[in-house]
Amino acid sequence: MKKIHKITFISIFAAFAMVLSYVEMMLPPIWSAVPGIKVGLPNVIIIFVLYKLSFKYAAFISLLRVFAVALLFGNVLTLSYSIAGAVISLTLMWLLKKTSLFSMVGVSIAGGVSHNLGQIIVAMIVMQTKEIGYYMAILAVSGVLAGIVIGLIGAMLLKYTQKIKIK
């Protein structure tokens, strides 16, 4: 890929991911009693890029999205949550993908659950309380469900774009 192609590719996919973040913000909370339950739409883009291209591109796009979304709609606090979730989930997804033990759905499930785990850990540090760890049981279930949805969408995207070669 030429440099200009790389820049264009990263920009377009970062924009996709940002729009999906925005769409997700517009959606009503799924269960207001437990914050943090969401589908994680931007992860469709991240996992697609991870499979279609490489970890490097996925990481770049993910961080771009996190910072841009924090600048536009968030603050330092939401940024710390997003970074924790993004870094831990992408790293785990990358490692699991390398093992070739799981399909995209399995990798995405691990990504969803670890994303929630990362955010719970930051919440524990920020709030100086360990009691909220109890949410993790519920968030693990929602992470699995979200992971399945995202993994299936990602697999579909990958399947329908397999004739398009980027490289």
Partner 1 sequence: MSIKKALLNHKNDILLATGILLLAAICFLIFSFSMKEGKYALVTVDGEQVYKHSLNEDDETVILGANSSSGEQNVLVIKDGKAFVKSANCPDKICVSHRKISKTGETIVCLPHKVVVSVVEE
Site residues, partner 1 (CB under 8 A): 32-33, 35, 51, 77, 97, 100-106, 109-110, 113, 123, 126-129, 131-132, 134, 136-138, 140-141, 143-144, 147-148, 155, 158-159, 162
> Minimum distance between the CB of residue 155 and partner 1, rounded to whole angstroms?
5
> Minimum distance between the CB of residue 96 and partner 1, rounded to whole angstroms?
9
Q: Which is nearer to partner 1, 15 or 105 (CB)?
A: 105
Q: Which is nearer to partner 1, 65 or 97 (CB)?
A: 97
> Minimum distance between the CB of residue 14 and partner 1, rounded to whole angstroms?
23
Q: Which is nearer to partner 1, 15 or 102 (CB)?
A: 102
> Minimum distance between the CB of residue 27 and partner 1, rounded to whole angstroms?
14
Q: What is the dihedral of CA 20, 21, 23, 29, to 10 degrees?
A: 130
Q: Which is nearer to partner 1, 8 or 98 (CB)?
A: 98
> Minimum distance between the CB of residue 34 and partner 1, rounded to whole angstroms?
9
Quick one: 148 exposed, middle or buried, by C-beta within 10 A (0-12, 13-18, 19+)? middle
CA dist., res. 84 & res. 117, Å (int)? 9
Q: Which is nearer to partner 1, 64 or 138 (CB)?
A: 138
Say what angle helices 76-99 and 104-127 make with each other, to 10 degrees. Answer: 150
Q: In which region does residue 128 sit, left (phi positive, over 0), alpha (psi from -120 to 50) or beta (all else)?
A: left
Long-range CB pairs of 53-56, under 8 A, 24+ apart, other chains included? 53/9, 53/166, 55/90, 55/94
CB count within 10 Å of CB 58 equals 23
What six digits make up the tokens of 156?
Answer: 């579909």
